[in-house]
Structure 1
């Protein structure tokens, strides 16, 4: 897993060229997924990278109030990733992540919102394509399935 010291938000941000909108969720998510997967960071979005324990556990004392360094590092990483994600959002998309505390939570909100819009748009375009007419001839059935 990449540490937050190796995450250079400016460097990653320059690689994201698409800002999310109603019409491009698939392109945007593919670009972001590819970038983050390449740096072994997408696990923070899909939940496969789980947070370390927050507090130290000592044999004689049990759970202490001492926050573990690995947890602090994890928090810096997810905060940096949330910031990266936010910078790729349009004003309209930003409303779906306001109040989220982790990149995963923000990602899931965006997927819930935009994946259904993308599916509906794809179905609409398929219907338009299947019922397209050229010079009064209905182009349907045999050409497009």
Structure 2
């Protein structure tokens, strides 16, 4: 996991765009490119799922002891959530408040801003047709 920590520490300096209402596509492209380059986008898109949370012992069954793999995964996920939050404007921040994982935050932002982007595209098309 030390490698993941080194990767995460350097990511924020590579992201130069903060998400606002009018730049979702550029922001997303930059963020995805950086994260893909560090093989960390799986936390965002949900393809890197959390390992089992609790240890399973043959004689005891499921225990209340958290697995080391789960703790490590959550530590990386929370660090990535912090990176994501640091790239948001104050207005965008409201869409991730309460999210427990970076995947949840990513989905909330994508759902909201993809809709806004589609509406903006349609509005611009209408303006071009009426010009």
Same fold (TM over 0.5): yes
**Structure number having the greater helix percentage:** 2
SS at the partner of 2:14?
coil
Residue of structure 2 in register with 1:141 after alignment: none
Counting matched residue pairs gives: 131
The TM-score with structure 1 as length reference comes to 0.84
Q: Which runs of 5+ in 1 are unaligned?
A: 133-145
C-alpha RMSD of matched pairs (Å): 1.6
Shift, 1:3, TM fit: 5.3
Mark the structure with the bigger radius of gyration.
Answer: 1
1:33–1:88 CA distance, 2 compared to 1 (3 A): same
**8 Å Cα contact 2:15-2:31 kept in structure 1:** yes
Q: C-alpha displacement at 1:2, in angstroms?
A: 8.6
Matches of 2:99 and 2:80 in 1, distance apart? Answer: 12
Runs of at least 5 residues in structure 2 that lack an aligned partner in the other structure: none
Corresponding residue number in structure 2 for 1:30: 29
Mapped partners of 1:2, 1:123: distance in 2: 46
Q: CA deviation at 1:75?
A: 0.6
- CA 2–39 in structure 1, closer or farther in 2 if over 3 Å, else same: farther
Q: Give the equivalent residue in structure 2 for 1:92.
A: 91
Contact 2:20 2:92 in 1 (8 A): yes
Contact preservation (8 Å) 1:21, 1:93:
yes
Superposition TM-score, scaled by structure 2 size = 0.92
